[in-house]
Amino acid sequence: MFVLSIIKDTIAILPANFGVLPEQALISEINKKYANRVLHDVGMCICVFDLTEASEGKVRYGDGCLWYKVIFRMVVFRPFASEVILAKVKSSDEDGIRLSVGFFDDMYIPLSYLPQPSALDSNERAHFWLPDSEATTPHELLESITTDRMYIDQGEIVRVRVEADEFYDDEPGPPKASEGVAVKREVRRAPYSVICSIAEQGLGPIPWWKAAQVDEELMEEG
């Protein structure tokens, strides 16, 4: 789920930090700029792994900073497609389930990636799976006996497979004169989101597969 990315950038060191070793000062500046941020088509940056290469610091006209050209390796959160990871259920709604791994929570399981047949119990605010059921419509499913339902509750740890990831760059461009100064509020999309699936044997809440594991498998295949 973590990868190393090699990135090149020009970093300025403020005169106040000239007393620090250049290497330390650079790492601290890079972390300030990148840590906990999403890089488009790269992933979510965690922290600097190490510096690969750095030029001599140069002073430019206009400020007292030392500018370094640096090549460094960054630890990035970017699970690959088909990777299996553990995540916590953050919330459930009509569109599916939202997951979290603590430092990143734009992870979703859409309805189509839930084990079938399943439905949303609006009283519990949780989706449930009804194994070996003939029912297909949500209406029929909600009439089932509660004890047969296998709920995916909030806060539960689920094993999920990453199906896809999406990057959006929604930064607005400069305002056009013809449009005036009217501020339009658009729905903000997460810059990086991960689509996951639990519609497979072995995926879903961990207790499903720990207890009575053999029976489950037989039932599934039968």
* Using rule CB under 8 A, residue 212 touches other proteins: no
Helix (H) or strand (E) holding 209: helix 206-210
| Count of all residues that appear for the chain in the document | 222
Maximum C-alpha span of the chain:
76
CB of 106 to other proteins, least distance (A): 14
Question: How many residues sit close enough to other proteins to count as binding (CB under 8 A)?
Answer: 56
Measuring CA to CA, which residue among 106, 103, 77, 92 is closest to residue 196? 106
Residue 82 binds other proteins (CB under 8 A): yes
d(CA 170, CA 149): 40
Q: Is 5 in the site for other proteins (CB under 8 A)?
A: yes
Task: List % helix, strand, coil for the chain (3-state, nearest 5).
Answer: 20, 40, 40
Residue pair 106/192 in contact (Cβ under 8 Å)? The answer is yes
Task: Find the part of the chain contacting other proteins (CB under 8 A) among 29-37, 106-114, 142-150, 177-185.
Answer: 29-37
CB of 103 to other proteins, least distance (A): 4
What residues make contact with other proteins under the rule CB under 8 A? 1-9, 17, 19-20, 24-25, 28, 31-32, 35-37, 39, 41-43, 46-47, 49-50, 71, 73, 75-76, 78, 80-86, 101-103, 157, 159, 161, 164, 200-203, 206, 209-210, 213, 217
